[in-house]
Amino acid sequence: MSANPGDIESLRRALSRLETSTGALTRAYAALTAEAARLSTELEESHRFLSGVMESLPCAVVVTGARGAVELVNAEARELGADDAALVRAAAAELSGRPGGARLLRAVGGRTLSLAVRPAPGGRTIMTAEDVTELERLRAGARRAERLAGAGGLAAAMAHEIRNPLGGMEIFISLLRRELADDADTLAMLGHVASGAQAINHVITNVLMFTGEPRPAFERFDARRLLREIFEFAHGIFEKNRVAPRLAPPEGPLFVHADPGMVRQVILNMIHNAVAAQPEGGFFEASVTQTGGRVEFRFADGGPGVGADIRERIFDPFFTTKDSGAGLGLSIVNQIARAHGGFADLVDSAGPGAVFVFSIPSRGE
């Protein structure tokens, strides 16, 4: 059986059409493959770009999928330990129903994080977290300072209130002293009352000086005479504690320009510290000299001195090693020195014991 020439012809045409279509299909496939490659490169690029943006964000970002598994995390989130699906879940639960933009504070690995949660397409959740540890520390400090300032005002008001009746007590004590001049036993008891009143007065003056801004009222006075007067005033404290007061030479008047009330408080603070440092008794030696445009008070005692471990801190407010100390004495000495344009310091001494200097400009004496 021979083939019909008409059939052969139509077969040939069909084959040729098939070839043409195959060619077109191959070309279309090649074009599609190229397009797919281009899109995939583009996708990779935008993925890299997005990761770059995510990684360089200063806040932590965590994205979880619809089932709650973590899908995306940036470097900051890994560093802060916030790359945790449970944390995102808990934050989302707590913030749900709250207005958009609401944030939540959470302690994570010793840091304080401020968290925000937002829904994203595909049932995803985006959590952002900022490290606000330092900010929160500063806020807590500011709140503490506010409370302290309030307490300072209260302390100052109380100190003023206590000072008035105390002044009255001191006057009556001195009147009683005269009345009881020949009753030695009662006088001795009165001495204890008087030194108690002095101690209260001393603490109150420290509180008032600490809470107020020290503004010296400068006047010219004999510093050596002031030292002698204070030694006389504090003789009860010295006697009771078996601490021998010594005025180191040179003698004779030395006129200075300063606030005598403040200098008096400096000397009293030094006396109180020297007495406290020598519970078995000892000595307190004070001198005042003028050299090179400066007036320098030196205070020495025979106590154990100040250990190297606390030297740096003794002038800090509230630093104390005493059970009932307020830690205000030396900080006030320092404050007064500065208010006079001078300084206070602990100086090394050859022997045991502490030696302090209080040095102020001599202001043309």
Contacting residues toward ligand ADP, per CB under 6 A: 269, 273-274, 277, 301, 303, 305-306, 314, 319-322, 325-331, 354
Residue nearest to ligand ADP as judged by C-beta position: 329
Beta carbon of residue 288, minimum distance to ligand ADP (angstroms, whole number) = 18
Q: CA 54, CA 76: separation in Å to the nearest integer?
A: 9
Is the Cβ–Cβ distance between 194 and 236 less than 8 Å?
yes
Minimum Å gap between C-beta 332 and ligand ADP is 8
d(CA 177, CA 190): 7
Q: Which of 264, 261, 303, 312 is nearest to 284 (CA)?
A: 303
Q: Which is nearer to ligand ADP, 274 or 360 (CB)?
A: 274
Q: Which two tokens stand for residue 347?
A: 């100086």
Residue with Cβ nearer ligand ADP (224 or 315) = 315
How far does Cα 9 stand from its chain's mean position?
A: 100
| Structural contact between residues 363 and 355, judged by C-beta atoms closer than 8 angstroms | no
Nearer to ligand ADP, 64 or 273 (CB): 273
Q: Report in angstroms how near the CB of residue 64 gets to ligand ADP at its nearest.
A: 55
Cβ proximity to ligand ADP: between 119 and 279 the closer is 279
Q: How far is the CB of 247 from ligand ADP (least distance, A)?
A: 18
Position 215, amino acid: R
Q: How far is the CB of 319 from ligand ADP (least distance, A)?
A: 5
Residue whose structure tokens are 């520390």: 137
Give whichever of 98 and 246 is closer to ligand ADP, judged by the CB atom: 246
Residue 337 CA: distances (Å) to CA of 1, 216, 231, 331:
131, 10, 21, 10
R_g (Cα) of the chain, nearest Å: 42
| Least distance CB 315 / ligand ADP (angstroms) | 7
Nearer to ligand ADP, 117 or 354 (CB): 354
